[in-house]
């Protein structure tokens, strides 16, 4: 008698099954990840990967060796739904003060460093893979450079403690985000060109395209963020509806991404800078409830999206179709994977140590230089490869998740191997390595943070309060240096690193503050927009900042 | 030189344009809706409808009269992405105490009433449309009954003030939610049957199918909600990560919906009861930040989904394809729309007044009866037709948003007409009508709420605290009645209504509380799960409850 199935399901009941199973697995990842949290060797990414591989095995057996995944990889899914929340959240949760203090260093490592890494890996791929007879075009080699220049520093960040080594953390985090954006921009720039015959003009156009994408995308993100701040400030939603504010913030963030895509720019960069601007201005214009809600909602969406990607990658690792194509040339496949892993190690070393050296040359005091152990930590932090690499590889080497071409299948399986190996093996080694390299960091930094080294009043000028003066600023900085100078004996302590990255942009930061107070805040709001009762102003503002900073993480 | 477009966009750049425009329009609706908020005649639904129609005109002109909307209507979009957050949020934000106190009345109006309305409209459609020679099958008539039995009480709720008339509000709200679920279940039940030759056996199977869907869906929702509470309580995420808790709550809510779809049940009912259970248990097991975040996130998602639907309906109102098909039989189309509007009015009157009369028969004192003016308000509150009607109509009368059949096109355009007319005209008349019917409600209720009519200690037994005893409960209720008895002179005041709906389920509610405290809370947590310092316990618990209730809305 029952003629048709439930009308929701007639459309595609198998997709309902897939979605249900996938959500169940996501829940399992979160719960198991939580249970394994005590074990600091593990993390959500590794858990999701392992659960993904496990489910892949089960599905492979159930389907009689036909398929190992629940859904076909979709670029749209990744680039339109999963990546934007991750990158936006990265911008939104970034410790802006640290980020902008270290802006030059972060950009040096994140942008220039990624380009060096990209070049090294591309050249290495050309040299080695042509010998191996993999059979790739010049565009593929450049794409490989971009694919494996995209780091995944989530694992390291879970080991580096933000309170113990705030500046190293900020550096690794900032570099990771700029690196994501840079590698996607590089990938786009490479794809947009006909690379069949390279000459100087093409190379220049490539560089020009890169800078064009980088700058316009950034500007668009900043404009979108400022617009959201302006709208919310002008209408002052806060007095009316938290839901409207949250809706506007979410929609504007997503709109910035879609606008970038509309104009063929890099949505990643746009949404990252929109996130920064929105956390600097918009977030301060809304109600307390909206702040809590947006902060946690963006973090949750990012968290779920990351687990989703790792789960998918884990499931796809066993995709029988690709392995079957590869199985004839197993030796080639293994050597390609090994070569790529080697290139990743070399490509990162090729910029971390030289750029650190260059950066050290500009410093006068030995305190300001980056110690060798810090350099090693920065190098190691960027060795993991993750979701972005996977997505770019799928984009370059498959059509809708499928491939029959031998060379493409080899590169897909090699990418999976590199991602799995680097995430699991490098990931598991990170904690012991960091503990080995910086054994005293825990005790040392605890001492620093428990001591009131910098009197609070000296911080005030840096907080962007209107009463800051140039004199105060430099007194503040001077005393901060002296305060941190107490740790002279500890040669490798992070406070030296901190001074290094703080110094070059100190004046830039100072003028930005001036400009921000004079022109930006009156228009776009931001911290202090909500009328503020002056009672022991400096003390109060410092407290506010601290709460702010705590709230941010 | 630029060979391909940005790789994100190659897939489908036109869809990027649509999404961007649509998000921009959503933002515009929110901002304009906010600006018009002072004008209480308007609301977000009407604003979105008007903006949708406006954009439809622009798109129609730009596209040279080809199309008026940015995206083709997709059932999946509506039923998998937009409806679940709306219904879940309805369950999550419902004032549980009020809802369960009035449970019997709400179910009477929401379930039985909707069935009566469905029957009236179906029979009316059979009688009138067969005369008009519209050309429909028996299944279509029953579908029309289900489509137009689905009310949209959002407009009325924006006019009824929750603090002024809490019980009338709760009644209209509760009825609206149960009505949504019931009409979707009815629609499914009708679709699942071969209705070419109706006999008693088929009718019984239809009724059986309805109850089967209703009960199993409810049970699944309750189980999913309890599971989420149990998981979070057992793992006690609260001490660790707000993001994990929020993620688990969101995923479990969505999972319950997908599971219902998987088993061919009613996702709507499931997710509604999952929402109620999650707000009763799970929500109390998480951190303060998680509570704020989930409350506002769910509300925001629901808010955006509603605006999305109205915007879409507005845009689709001008869809030239359907109007062209209809234009030949304009007279039929107009009379179909008018007939449907009439049937909606009659169908609702057919159950509100008789059921109120039945309900009044069981009451002893005149205070407990529903006054005629309250009945009219309840009747009017359910006259608007909205998103659910649209979605069901599209499901029944189109294939992927398109139709060429004359009869189907007539019914789609008539549905659009009814939705637009009822939302705009009835919607705009609601405020004056409510003010006319209950002129004193504002002053009256302000008096009640400002006076401490019920001493706080008497409320304690009703709050589910462990020290409640049967004696206290009835003393409490007795005094509550006496307290409210002060308003005897005001014949039509809502407090009478309140007593009526409170009485029949008072004992059910009491035994539920007992059961809840003895068996449910020890396992699933809920209010009071977080260790609680006993200092003036009754006073404290009453305060907690009040804060709770405030926080819920």
Q: In the structure, what pLDDT confidence band is assigned to residue A484 with cuts at 50, 70 and 90?
A: very low
H/E/C letters for each residue in A118-154?
A: HHHHHHHHHHHHHHHCCCCCHHHHHHHHHHHHCCCCH
Average pLDDT, chain B: 73
Alpha carbons within 13 A on the beta-carbon side of A520: 22
Cα angle B185, B171, B382 (rounded to 5 degrees) comes to 60
Evaluate if residue B440 carries a pLDDT over 60. Answer: no
Flag whether residue A244 sits within 8 Å of chain B, measured between CB atoms.
yes
Is A250 within 8 Å of B299 when comparing Cβ atoms? Answer: no
Given a contact cutoff of 8 angstroms between Cβ atoms, the answer to whether A45 and A154 are in contact is yes
Q: Burial letters for A122-157: b for 16+ Cβ neighbours within 10 Å, e otherwise?
A: bebbbebbeebebebeebbbbbbbbbbbbbbbbbbb
Flag whether residue A236 sits within 8 Å of chain B, measured between CB atoms.
no
Evaluate if residue B117 carries a pLDDT over 90. Answer: yes
If residue B127 lies in a helix (H) or strand (E), which one and from where to where? helix B114-132
Is A16 within 8 Å of B290 when comparing Cβ atoms? Answer: no
Which contacts qualify for A158-164: CB closer than 8 Å, 24 or more apart? A158/A40, A158/A43, A159/A40, A159/A430, A159/A431, A159/A434, A160/A377, A160/A381, A160/A434, A161/A442, A162/A553, A163/A445, A163/A449, A164/A441, A164/A442, A164/A445, A164/A446, A164/A494
Evaluate if residue B453 carries a pLDDT over 60. Answer: no
**What DSSP state is assigned to residue A464?**
T
Flag whether residue A400 sits within 8 Å of chain B, measured between CB atoms.
no
Model pLDDT for residues B213-268, shown as the tens digit of each residue: 888 988 999 999 999 998 888 876 556 678 888 999 999 999 999 999 888 887 87
Least confident of A16-20, A356-360, B493-497: B493-497
Is B265 within 8 Å of A395 when comparing Cβ atoms? Answer: no
Closest by CA position to B490, among listed B458, B527, B418, B442? B442
Flag whether residue A395 sits within 8 Å of chain B, measured between CB atoms.
yes
Cα angle A158, A164, A168 (rounded to 5 degrees) comes to 70
Distance, in Å, from the CA atom of A139 to the CA atom of A361, rounded to the nearest integer, reads 36
Q: Whole-structure pTM over 0.90, yes or no? A: no
ipTM: 0.74
H/E/C letters for each residue in A161-222?
A: CCCCCHHHHHHHHHHHHHHHHHHHHHHHHHHCECCCCCCHHHHHHHHHHHHHHHHHHHHHHH
What are the backbone angles phi and psi of residue B71, rounded to the nearest 5°? -140, 150
Flag whether residue A187 sits within 8 Å of chain B, measured between CB atoms.
yes
Model pLDDT for residues A89-114, shown as the tens digit of each residue: 888 887 777 777 777 788 888 888 99
Which contacts qualify for B456-464: CB closer than 8 Å, 24 or more apart? B456/B538, B456/B539, B456/B542, B457/B538, B457/B539, B457/B542, B459/B542, B459/B545, B460/B538, B460/B541, B460/B542, B462/B97, B462/B509, B462/B513, B463/B541, B463/B542, B463/B545, B464/B513, B464/B516, B464/B517, B464/B527, B464/B528
Substitution target in B2, B3, B7 with the highest count of A β-carbons within 10 Å is B7
Distance, in Å, from the CA atom of B366 to the CA atom of B358, rounded to the nearest integer, reads 14
Please give the average per-residue pLDDT across B544-553, as a whole number. 43
Distance, in Å, from the CA atom of B155 to the CA atom of A420, rounded to the nearest integer, reads 53
B300 contact residues in A (CB cutoff 8 A): 243, 246-247, 250, 293
Please give the average per-residue pLDDT across A372-398, as a whole number. 83
The pLDDT of residue B122: 92
Q: In the structure, what pLDDT confidence band is assigned to residue A403 with cuts at 50, 70 and 90?
A: low
Distance, in Å, from the CA atom of B206 to the CA atom of B203, rounded to the nearest integer, reads 5
The pLDDT of residue A314: 81
Closest by CA position to B89, among listed A243, A197, A540, A324? A243
Given a contact cutoff of 8 angstroms between Cβ atoms, the answer to whether B290 and B374 are in contact is no
B191 contact residues in A (CB cutoff 8 A): 4, 7
Count the neighbouring beta carbons within 10 Å of the beta carbon of residue A66: 10
What are the backbone angles phi and psi of residue B399, rounded to the nearest 5°? -115, 110
Is B231 within 8 Å of A31 when comparing Cβ atoms? Answer: yes
Given a contact cutoff of 8 angstroms between Cβ atoms, the answer to whether B153 and B172 are in contact is yes
Closest by CA position to B376, among listed B439, B433, B445, B440? B433
Substitution target in B5, B8, B72 with the highest count of A β-carbons within 10 Å is B8
Given a contact cutoff of 8 angstroms between Cβ atoms, the answer to whether A34 and B237 are in contact is yes
Q: Which residue has the tokens 């009825």?
A: B175
Which stretch, A341-355, A420-434, A536-550, B67-81, has highest mean pLDDT?
A341-355
Distance, in Å, from the CA atom of A105 to the CA atom of B107, rounded to the nearest integer, reads 64
Model pLDDT for residues B14-65, shown as the tens digit of each residue: 778 888 888 999 999 888 888 877 665 666 777 888 888 888 888 888 877 6
Model pLDDT for residues A237-288, shown as the tens digit of each residue: 556 678 888 999 999 999 999 999 888 887 878 998 899 899 988 888 888 8
Distance, in Å, from the CA atom of B514 to the CA atom of B470, rounded to the nearest integer, reads 10
Distance, in Å, from the CA atom of A5 to the CA atom of A17, rounded to the nearest integer, reads 14
The pLDDT of residue B121: 93
The pLDDT of residue A368: 60
Chain B nearest-CA distance from A225, in A, is 14
The pLDDT of residue A111: 86
Distance, in Å, from the CA atom of A342 to the CA atom of A334, rounded to the nearest integer, reads 12
Q: In the structure, what pLDDT confidence band is assigned to residue B275 with cuts at 50, 70 and 90?
A: very high
Q: Burial letters for B193-216: b for 16+ Cβ neighbours within 10 Å, e otherwise?
A: bebeeeeeeeeebbeebbeebbeb
Q: Which two tokens stand for residue B350?
A: 């057919």
Judged by DSSP in three states, A15 sits in helix
The pLDDT of residue B90: 81
A250 contact residues in B (CB cutoff 8 A): 300, 304
Flag whether residue B240 sits within 8 Å of chain A, measured between CB atoms.
yes
Please name the residues in contact with A14: beta carbons below 8 A apart, sequence gap of 6 or more: none
Flag whether residue B251 sits within 8 Å of chain A, measured between CB atoms.
yes
The pLDDT of residue B38: 66
Given a contact cutoff of 8 angstroms between Cβ atoms, the answer to whether A437 and A373 are in contact is yes
B290 contact residues in A (CB cutoff 8 A): 296
Closest by CA position to A44, among listed A323, A418, A300, A416? A300
Evaluate if residue A533 carries a pLDDT over 50. Answer: no
The pLDDT of residue A320: 67
Helix pair B242-262, B288-316: axis angle to 10 deg: 50
Evaluate if residue A547 carries a pLDDT over 80. Answer: no
Please name the residues in contact with A270: beta carbons below 8 A apart, sequence gap of 6 or more: A217, A218, A220, A221, A224, A256, A257, A259, A260
With 0-12 / 13-18 / 19 or more C-beta atoms within 10 angstroms meaning exposed / middle / buried, residue B114 is buried
Please name the residues in contact with A219: beta carbons below 8 A apart, sequence gap of 6 or more: none
What are the backbone angles phi and psi of residue B352, rounded to the nearest 5°? -65, -50
Substitution target in B247, B263, B290, B305 with the highest count of A β-carbons within 10 Å is B247
Evaluate if residue A168 carries a pLDDT over 80. Answer: no
Count the neighbouring beta carbons within 10 Å of the beta carbon of residue B534: 7
Flag whether residue A4 sits within 8 Å of chain B, measured between CB atoms.
yes
Q: What is the DSSP string of B110-126?
A: IIIIHHHHHHHHHHHHH
Is B251 within 8 Å of A26 when comparing Cβ atoms? Answer: yes
Chain A nearest-CA distance from B246, in A, is 7
Model pLDDT for residues A194-245, shown as the tens digit of each residue: 656 667 777 787 778 778 888 898 899 999 999 999 888 887 655 667 888 8
Which stretch, A422-436, B123-137, B297-311, B339-353, has highest mean pLDDT?
B339-353
Distance, in Å, from the CA atom of A477 to the CA atom of A454, rounded to the nearest integer, reads 9
A259 contact residues in B (CB cutoff 8 A): 20
Closest by CA position to B305, among listed B550, B88, B4, B17? B88
Residue A32: C-alpha distances to residues B138, B140, B236 (Å): 52, 49, 13
Distance, in Å, from the CA atom of A402 to the CA atom of A72, rounded to the nearest integer, reads 8
Flag whether residue A285 sits within 8 Å of chain B, measured between CB atoms.
no
Distance, in Å, from the CA atom of A97 to the CA atom of A280, rounded to the nearest integer, reads 10
Of residues A262 and B476, more confidently modeled? A262
The pLDDT of residue B74: 65
Model pLDDT for residues B365-375, shown as the tens digit of each residue: 666 677 788 88
Residues written for chain B: 553
């Amino acid at each position: 008698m029952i003629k048709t199935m439930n009308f929701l399901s007639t459309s595609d009941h198998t997709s309902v099954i897939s979605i249900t199973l996938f959500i169940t697995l996501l829940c399992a990842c979160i719960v198991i990840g939580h249970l394994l949290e005590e074990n600091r060797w593990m993390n959500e990414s590794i858990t999701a990967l392992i659960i993904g591989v496990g489910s892949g095995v089960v599905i492979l057996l159930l389907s009689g060796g036909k398929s190992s995944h629940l859904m076909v990889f979709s670029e749209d899914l990744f680039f339109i739904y999963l990546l934007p929340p991750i990158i936006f959240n990265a911008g939104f949760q970034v410790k802006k003060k640290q980020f902008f203090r270290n802006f030059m260093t972060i950009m040096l490592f994140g942008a220039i460093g990624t380009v060096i890494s990209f070049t090294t890996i591309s050249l290495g791929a050309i040299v080695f893979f042509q010998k191996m007879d993999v059979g790739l075009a010049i565009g593929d080699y450049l794409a490989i450079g971009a694919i494996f220049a995209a780091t995944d520093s989530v694992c390291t960040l879970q080991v580096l403690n933000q309170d113990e080594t705030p500046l190293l953390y900020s550096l690794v985090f900032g570099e990771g985000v700029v690196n994501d954006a840079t590698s996607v921009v590089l990938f786009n720039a490479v794809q947009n060109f006909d690379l069949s015959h390279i000459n100087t003009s093409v190379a220049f156009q490539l560089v020009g395209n890169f800078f064009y994408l980088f700058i316009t995308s950034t500007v668009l993100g900043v404009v979108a963020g400022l617009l959201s701040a302006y709208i919310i400030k002008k209408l002052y939603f806060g007095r009316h509806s938290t839901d409207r504010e949250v809706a506007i913030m979410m929609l504007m963030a997503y709109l910035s991404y879609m606008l970038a895509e509309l104009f063929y720019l890099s949505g990643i960069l746009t949404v990252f800078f929109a996130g920064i601007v929105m956390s600097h201005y918009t977030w301060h214009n809304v109600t307390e409830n909206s702040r809590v809600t947006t902060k946690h909602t963006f973090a949750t969406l990012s968290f779920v999206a990351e687990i989703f990607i790792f789960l998918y990658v884990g499931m796809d690792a066993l995709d029988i179709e690709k392995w079957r194509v590869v199985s004839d040339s197993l030796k080639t496949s293994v050597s390609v994977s090994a070569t790529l892993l080697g290139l990743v190690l070399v490509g990162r070393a090729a910029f971390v140590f030289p750029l650190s050296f260059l950066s050290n040359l500009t410093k006068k005091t030995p305190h300001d230089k980056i110690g060798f152990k810090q350099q090693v930590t920065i190098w190691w932090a960027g060795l993991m490869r993750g979701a972005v690499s996977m997505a770019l590889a799928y984009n370059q080497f498959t059509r809708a998740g499928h491939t029959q071409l031998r060379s493409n299948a080899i590169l897909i399986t090699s990418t999976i191997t590199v991602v799995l190996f680097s995430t699991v093996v490098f990931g598991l080694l990170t904690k012991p390595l960091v503990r080995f390299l910086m054994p005293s960091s825990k005790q040392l930094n605890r001492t620093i943070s428990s001591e009131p080294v910098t009197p609070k009043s000296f911080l005030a000028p840096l907080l962007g309060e209107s009463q800051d003066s140039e004199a105060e600023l430099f007194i503040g900085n001077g005393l901060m240096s002296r305060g941190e100078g107490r740790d002279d004996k500890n040669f490798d302590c992070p406070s030296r690193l901190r001074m290094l990255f703080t110094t070059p942009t100190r004046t830039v930061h100072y003028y930005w503050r001036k400009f921000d107070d004079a022109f930006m805040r009156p228009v776009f709001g931001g911290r202090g927009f909500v009328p503020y009762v002056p009672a022991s102003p400096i003390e109060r503002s410092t407290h506010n900042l601290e709460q702010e900073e705590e709230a941010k993480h």
